[in-house]
Amino acid sequence: MWPDFPATVRALAEAIADRETGAAGSPEAAAAFVLASFRGMPAYLRPPLRAATLFFDAWPAIRRGRPFHRLPVDLRLRQFDAWERSPIGPARMLTTFFASLIVFSLWSNDGAHG
């Protein structure tokens, strides 16, 4: 099972949606928003972001025998939390990028507030 960029984005959206109690947006819509944002972002940012995401996806393969996008949600969240708290700047930047776009989208479907 190879690292897969869109599958990683979808797996991230599902995992973050799982911990985002009360947010009404769907993980599918959040993943679509992230992928659309990725397509629109400056071209020179896309290759490094894609490479970092694929590395993030491949990370658990040695220990657990499968990429991030094939892990159960609790293990995905554990890996995401660890990267969020990492002392390594690029690891934190990667999680900040995904967390920001995904929580924005997940909370966007709440029609109760303007």
Partner 1 sequence: MADRLRTDVAVIGSGPGGAVTASLCAEAGYATLLIEDGPDLPLEANAHFSGDEILSKYRNAGIAMAFGKPSVSFVEGRCVGGGSEVNRGLYHRTPAYVLEQWSRSHRVDHLTEAALAPHFDACEQTARISRLPGTAPDLSQRLGDGAARLGWDAIAAPRLYDYGAGRKQSMSETFVPRFRQAGGRLIADCRATRIRRLGGKWEVTARQGRGDLTIEADALFVACGAVQTPALLRRSGFRRNIGNSLRFHPMMKAVALFDASVNRPGDPDPVHQIKMFEPRFGIGCSISSPALLALALAGNPQMRARIGSDAARMGLYYVQNGTGHARVRNLPAMQDPLVSIRHEEEELDQLYDGLKHLMRALFAAGAEAVQPCIRGFPLLRSVDEIAALPAQPWRSALLTSVHVFASCPMGEDMSLCATDSWGRVHGGDGLRIADASLMCGPTIANPQGSVMAIAHRNALHALERRFA
Binding residues for partner 1, per CB under 8 A? 20-23, 33, 36-37, 39-45, 84, 92, 96, 99-100, 103-108, 110, 112-114
Q: Are residues 60 and 75 in contact, defined by beta-carbon separation less than 8 angstroms?
A: yes
- Whether the CB-CB separation of 83 and 24 falls below 8 Å is answered with no
- Least Å from the CB of residue 72 to partner 1: 21
Q: Measured from the CB of residue 48, what is the shortest distance to partner 1 in angstroms?
A: 12
* Minimum distance of partner 1 from residue 75's CB (angstroms): 19
Instruction: Please report, in angstroms and rounded to a whole number, the separation of the first and last CA atoms in the chain.
Output: 43
